[in-house]
Amino acid sequence: MTAPSGSDEPVSRDDGTDEPAATRATTREELAEEAAATASMPRPHADGTQAVARTELTVGPHWPARTEMTTRAETAGAGGEFAPTAATRRTELTPRAAGEQAEVPAPDVTEVAEQAGAQGVSRPGSSEADPRTPTRPSQRTARMTRTRPVVRRLGAGLVPIPAVEPVDPEAAVLEDPVVAEGRRFCWRCGKPVGRATPTQASTTAGSCQTCGAPYDFRPSLYPGDRVAGQYEIQGCIAHGGLGWIYLAIDRNVSDRWVVLKGLLHAGDAEAQAVAVAERQFLAEVVHPSIVKIHNFVEHPGPDGTPIGYIVMEYVGGHSLRDLLDHYAPERMPVAVAIAYLLEILPALDYLHSVGLAYNDLKPDNIMITTDRVELIDLGAVSQFEAYGNLYGTRGYQAPEIAHTGPTVASDIYTAGRTLAVLTLHLPMERGAYMDGIPDPKDEPILARHQFLYRLLLRATHPDPDRRFASARLLATQLTGVLREILAAETGNEHPQLSTLFSPPRTSFGTGELIAQTDGIIDGVARDTLLQPGDVVAALPVPIIDPGDPSAPLLAGAAHPEPRHALDELRHARQRAAAEPGGAPETFELEVTLAEARAHLDLAEPAAARLLLARLTDAPLPPAPDWRIDWYLGLTELLELEYERAFARFDAVLEALPGEIGPTLALAATAELILQHWDSPDPEEWRAYAESYYATVWRTDRGVVSAAFGLARQLAAAGNITAAVHALDQVPPASRHYAEARMTAILMLLTCAPAAELDESTLQVAAARVQDLPPGEGRAAQLRILTLGIALGWVQAGKRPKANGAKLFGSPFTERDLRRGIETGLRGLARSAPARTHRYALVDLANAVRAKSWF
């Protein structure tokens, strides 16, 4: 038999087995189930939701009924038994028209909004209003229809998203609320109940033949009923594992729309009382992106037993599940999915700040409204490391939660899984998504966006300690990944000021190529290879968290001169030792990292390594910290241990996939390996260098080192056009603008032997030399170099295509080329710094001058 989509299923924490038991569904999830039941065919992504029983007691085979929890999804199949509910239909969404051009090409977001459905608090099937339903004031509907279409920008304002129009909540009320046979399960043991057999018709009420628990799939509230003398029921809008969910009007507060959802199954009166007491804290949860809890009430059931209900605000809109369904069989555009998740992560961070875990983040529980993206259904929220029954959804829920209880890490896992479900084709088993992230070889999206792949691996790492430490950190890295994706898809840069790294302290690799031409002036040969010391001096450095208790003690150590910084750090150690309560817990880590940085700035890698070894080899080493890997990577660069440095920087990028700093470090290290080592696979390292340089450059045009590095890799691969284009993208405001223009000229002239160049390349190079600013000191030597290569071209038997062709305004002939070179060399000789080189330039001018017969 198959389980309902999104059913909440408990699991024993102690024995790890999935015993049949009661379920509790969350509001959003139950409504999603109802929508699945109204579909014309089974939904292929039925999500089983399980509860986890956390208890210190040993679970035996005769666990008391109210704590005997199970996972229905253990028997879930492909959803074939999800028969449609009679007399229901889905409501179409009313979109808002897009009002501006999106930066990222995305598949018809407006069309998605039109077809995904703009509904109430969840995704119920809709129908015409029940004739028994009392009428509402006409002003309510009139107000909603006057809303103007707008386009919102989500995801740090980077992604345009069409907003949706609210609809009359009555459209969500089911005309004939019936639970399909395939969705009838015992609330206690999870076994199928009420099903038709060859000898017996189906029933909506009775007793479970397995455990004897009563069941009743009929609504316990009907239109016109008043709960707590205040909430007038309008009808059912969905059914889930805990029964029906109802739309109501709050007659005591401005006739506002509300939603009532049962706390626990009505058959367990004792659990009802406990649940009401335990859920009271949810009323204090206040955040603009979290559904509001209005009240907790009780109302007599059909047999007079009190049933507890949670009263929530009515949220008009549509869920991410609705939107995802529209894209089927494709997935949601990556930028759009990230933008939606970024709107929810602050709410998750807020819950964590007050000691609560959400536990059941998934597309069904994320509602898109007219003015915000909102978390709905707080039914699974619990305190950190809570004991008892914890609820979540198989395929989203962290694997360790049965042992650790709810933690920040377990919520981070659900966030990563939510993003994966929205963007990837995840395999399913027994109605739930299987754990793991697909290999990029099997998922084109991940092959195109390796930083998204890294982020998903980090967020869903099996080891909770290897996940992002907070929802805030996840949001920061996700924003960085979004900017990289947008830059790749649009061609426009999307820079971001890092909160973890300083900007690059200087540039590297910008002057090596063009500096070769300085040998014409002074006769001194230059090294064109990238130097590790230059890379270390230029790369960004980690920033200490201003909220860290050690930050005030280390404030004076932020000195540009490393010797002075070391002196200040010694004083900081003395001040910390004199503190009445002792140094902060983080002080030793922070001061040691600062000392290591100062020694690296002094090019003293041995001293830096000794300091870092104190941290890594300590009896009680600190928690995993990417900064240790970063400084060890810099140390190994100075020690010429390039492959080990590459592995260190790769570990940092694994921890921080949205940061530019480690990406730039990986690019430079791969280039150093190419230049200084005889690697058995140079093309692999060249591909690394090109890919990482390209990522940095297209994302942030302020990191000019990446433009030069990318140009070098492209030129080495023979793609001179792309190399020159990369250098041409250096902005005029950059202090390396002229160097970039001149380096492009040099690449054009040296991309092939002179005899293999074409005339157009020489003409382009000459035109670029003429475009250099009048005060550019290297313009003269570049002019001489261009004329010299053109002379070699002519001497190889090549001739301009057009008669009367000119170069630098003079005839493109051997005689005029020689005259131009001679004039240039004599001009350089007059300003040569050394007498011997001056004589050499004069001799060269005499040798190249055109022969005269008179």
pLDDT in tens, 457-502: 999 999 999 999 999 999 999 999 999 999 999 999 999 999 999 9
pLDDT of the residue at 126:
37
Answer yes or no: are the C-beta atoms of 94 and 164 closer than 8 Å: yes
Question: What DSSP state is assigned to residue 90?
Answer: P
Please write the tens of the pLDDT for every residue from 65-83. 333 333 333 333 333 333 3
Q: What is the pLDDT of residue 582?
A: 80
What pLDDT does 241 receive? 58
The DSSP output letter for 3 is P
pLDDT in tens, 450-468: 999 999 999 999 999 999 9
Cis upstream peptide for 329 (omega within 30°): yes
pLDDT of 264 reads 59
Q: pLDDT category, 274, cuts 50, 70, 90? A: low
Q: What is the pLDDT of residues 360-417, one digit of tens each?
A: 999 999 999 888 899 988 878 888 987 766 778 889 999 999 899 999 999 999 999 9
Long-range contacts of 103-108 (CB under 8 A, 24+ apart): 103/158, 103/159, 103/160, 103/486, 103/490, 103/492, 104/159, 104/333, 104/335, 104/336, 104/485, 104/486, 104/489, 104/490, 105/489, 105/490, 106/333, 106/335, 106/336, 107/327, 107/330, 107/333
Task: Say how far apart CA 572 and CA 559 lie, in whole Å.
Answer: 13
Indicate if the pLDDT at residue 31 is higher than 60.
no
Whether the per-residue pLDDT at 40 is higher than 90: the answer is no
Q: Which of 159-163, 652-656, 809-813 has the lowest mean pLDDT?
A: 159-163
Alpha carbon distance 754, 748 (integer Å)? 11
Residue 717 has pLDDT above 80, yes or no: yes
Residues 6+ apart with CB under 8 A from 532: 637, 638, 640, 642, 672
Check if the beta carbon of residue 395 is closer than 8 Å to that of residue 430. Answer: no
Contacts of 91 (CB under 8 A, 6+ apart): 117, 118, 119, 126, 167, 171, 172
Predicted local confidence at residue 133, as pLDDT? 42
> Is there a catalytic annotation at residue 527?
no
pLDDT digits (tens, 9 = 90+) for 106-159: 444 434 433 443 334 443 333 333 434 444 444 444 444 444 556 789 998 999
748-797 pLDDT per residue, tens: 999 999 999 999 999 999 999 999 998 899 999 999 999 999 999 999 99
Domains of the chain by start residue, with CATH: 10-86+318-487 (1.10.510.10), 495-516+526-724 (1.25.40.10), 752-854 (1.25.40.10)
**Whether the Cβ atoms of residue 142 and residue 135 lie closer than 8 Å to each other:** no
- 689-692-695 Cα angle (round to 5): 145
pLDDT tens-digit profile of 588-640? 999 999 999 999 999 999 999 999 999 998 877 777 899 999 999 999 999 99
Please give the pLDDT value at position 787: 96
pLDDT value at residue 273 = 57
Residue 694 confidence (pLDDT) above 70? yes
pLDDT score recorded for residue 276: 62
Quick one: pLDDT at residue 275?
Answer: 59
pLDDT reported for residue 269: 58
Helix axes 450-459, 642-655, angle to 10 degrees: 70
Residue 743 has pLDDT above 90, yes or no: yes
Number of residues that this document lists for the chain: 854
Segment 499-527 shows an average pLDDT of 92
Contacts for 347 with CB less than 8 Å, ≥ 6 apart: 287, 289, 290, 374, 375
Distance CA 338, CA 415 (A): 11
pLDDT digits (tens, 9 = 90+) for 247-272: 999 999 999 999 998 775 555 555 55
Q: How far is CA 843 from CA 523, 825, 829, in A?
A: 13, 9, 10
What pLDDT is attached to residue 277? Answer: 55
Coil/strand/helix, residue 12: strand
Higher pLDDT pick, 429 / 770: 770
Angle at 114 between CA 327 and CA 165, to 5 degrees: 130
Which sign, positive or negative, has the C-alpha torsion 351, 357, 358, 361?
positive
Q: What percent of the chain has pLDDT over 70?
A: 79
Q: Which positions ≥6 away from 101 have C-beta within 8 Å?
A: 160
pLDDT category of residue 558 using cuts at 50, 70 and 90? confident
* Residue 813 contacts residue 804 (beta carbons within 8 Å): no
* DSSP annotation string for 347-394: HHHHHHHTTEE----SGGGEEE-SS-EEE---TT-EETT--EEEEEET
Of 47, 360, 411, 700, which one is the catalytic site residue? Answer: 360
CA distance 373 to 320: 10
Query: Which three-class secondary structure state does DSSP give residue 786?
Result: helix
Q: Given this model, what pLDDT does residue 381 score?
A: 87
> Long-range pairs for 526-533 at CB < 8 Å and ≥24 separation?
529/675, 529/676, 530/668, 530/671, 530/672, 530/675, 532/637, 532/638, 532/640, 532/642, 532/672, 533/603, 533/638
DSSP conformational letter for 640:
T
For residues 828 and 849, what is the distance between their CA atoms, to the nearest angstrom? 15
pLDDT (0 to 100) of residue 618: 80
The 10s digit of each residue's pLDDT in 664-691 is 999 999 999 999 888 788 999 999 999 9
What per-residue confidence (pLDDT) applies to 411? Answer: 98
**569 vs 119, which has greater pLDDT?**
569
Question: Cα separation of 506 and 540, whole Å?
Answer: 9
